[in-house]
Amino acid sequence: GAVVSQHPSWVICKSGTSVKIECRSLDFQATTMFWYRQFPKQSLMLMATSNEGSKATYEQGVEKDKFLINHASLTLSTLTVTSAHPEDSSFYICSASTGKGGYTFGSGTRLTVV
């Protein structure tokens, strides 16, 4: 149980376009979801905490107008990278709290902006 499905697994987009990444909890309700990004050979960095029905809480240094997060239902959170640029190329991972101290992670999305 407690599976999070994230897609797409990888995406290549042109500079200036927007990309949406979806994160779905398949068999549980995820009140809170988290979005991370990972640069090559570095650790995960928390970008924002997403709560169902309210605005996301962004970590310091993360542009909320560039990384739009929507958590409209208990099973879906989306991250939209707007006007993507090559420096946004990264590995993005979502996770959800299972409510019992554990977290489950999506498989990640590798974004390449060309």
Partner 1 sequence: GEDVEQSLFLSVREGDSSVINCTYTDSSSTYLYWYKQEPGAGLQLLTYIFSNMDMKQDQRLTVLLNKKDKHLSLRIADTQTGDSAIYFCAETPGSSSASKIIFGSGTRLSIRP
CA distance 61 to 87: 15
Write down the least CB distance from residue 56 to partner 1, Å: 12
**Of the two residues 18 and 26, which places its CB atom closer to partner 1 in the complex?**
26
Binding residues (CB under 8 A) for partner 1: these are 6, 31-32, 34, 42-44, 46, 49, 93, 95, 97, 99-108, 110
Long-range Cβ pairs for the range 40-44 (8 Å, 24+): 44/93
**HSE-CB of 16 using CA atoms within 13 angstroms:** 0
Write down the least CB distance from residue 83 to partner 1, Å: 26
**Of the two residues 81 and 96, which places its CB atom closer to partner 1 in the complex?**
96
**Of the two residues 5 and 82, which places its CB atom closer to partner 1 in the complex?**
5
CA distance 65 to 98: 28
**Of the two residues 57 and 70, which places its CB atom closer to partner 1 in the complex?**
57
Write down the least CB distance from residue 93 to partner 1, Å: 6
Write down the least CB distance from residue 86 to partner 1, Å: 20
Q: What single string gives the DSSP state of each residue in 74-102?
A: TTEEEEEE-S--GGG-EEEEEEEE-SSS-
